[in-house]
Chain A
Amino acid sequence: DTGVSQDPRHKITKRGQNVTFRCDPISEHNRLYWYRQTLGQGPEFLTYFQNEAQLEKSRLLSDRFSAERPKGSFSTLEIQRTEQGDSAMYLCASSLVREQYFGPGTRLTVT
C-alpha cells in the first residue's frame, strides 16, 4: 500500500494521560499536514511541515500539542495531559504539488 498510513487507528485514554500518533506520508511527498475533525464538522487545520521544517501552526494547537517530522519522513503528533475536548479524529495528509492525500485517521477518545 503506497498511501498515507496512520497509527494507531483508535486510541482510548484517560484524561490527563499523554498520547502520541504517527503518520507515514506517501514516500516522495515533501509536505505533510495534520488536521482535527470532530463529529459533524469538517477537518480543521492544525499544523504543516515542508520536509522537516514546521512552517505553520494553527492557534488550535495549544501548548499541550507538539508535532515533529524528523528527517522529513514520518511525523508524530503528541498531546500531553489530554482533556475530554481533545476527543476527535486526527487526520494526516501529504502532498507533493497539487493534491492532498489523506490517511485513514486516528480516532481519539478521552474518558
Chain B
Amino acid sequence: KQEVTQIPAALSVPEGENLVLNCSFTDSAIYNLQWFRQDPGKGLTSLLLIQSSQREQTSGRLNASLDKSSGRSTLYIAASQPGDSATYLCAVREMTNAGKSTFGDGTTLTVKP
C-alpha cells in the first residue's frame, strides 16, 4: 500500500526566503506525482505535475523534482511572498488502470511580510 509523507507539517518563513518542501513515498511504481496548493476551506489547485520518466518541472518561481528510486520529491519555492501562504499537498498516482492518487497530509506554509 502506497504511503506518502510530507515533512515538515508546518513552516514559517520571512518574505523573500527560498524554501524547500519535501514529499516521500514508499512504492516507486508510480505513474506521476502532482503538487497542489490548497487555501483554507477551498479545493485543490494544481501547481506542477511530474511524469515518472521526468526528473523535474518548473513553473515561474516553483520547481519540483522527482527521484523515483529513492521515493522522494521536493518543491522549491523561490523568493517567497505572503500570497504563497497555503497548504501544499503532494499526490502520487499509481500505475494501475484506476490511477487513483495517494496524498500526503500537506505542509502548511506561512510567509510573513
Question: Do the two chains belong together in a single complex?
Answer: yes
Given known contacts A95-B99, A100-B101, A107-B41, A42 and B46 CB-to-CB distance under 8 angstroms = no
The distance from the CB of A100 to the nearest CB of chain B, in whole angstroms, is: 6
A61 to B1, CA, bound (A): 17
Is A28 at the interface (CB under 8 A from chain B)? no
Q: Which of B43, B44, B51, B103 has the most C-beta atoms of chain A within 10 angstroms of its own C-beta? A: B43
Is B68 at the interface (CB under 8 A from chain A)? no
Contact of A104 among B42, B46, B49, B100 (CB under 8 A): B42
Summed over the interface, the residue pairs from A and B with CB atoms below 8 Å come to a total of 58
Q: Is the interface of A mostly helix, strand, loop or mixed?
A: strand
Residues of chain B at interface, number, CB under 8 A = 25
Is B81 at the interface (CB under 8 A from chain A)? no
For this complex, 9 residue pairs linking A to B, each with C-beta atoms less than 8 Å apart, are: A35-B101, A43-B103, A44-B103, A91-B43, A93-B44, A99-B49, A102-B45, A104-B43, A105-B42
Given contacts A35-B103, A102-B36, 9 further A-B contacts (CB under 8 A): A33-B101, A40-B105, A42-B4, A42-B103, A43-B44, A43-B103, A93-B44, A98-B49, A100-B101
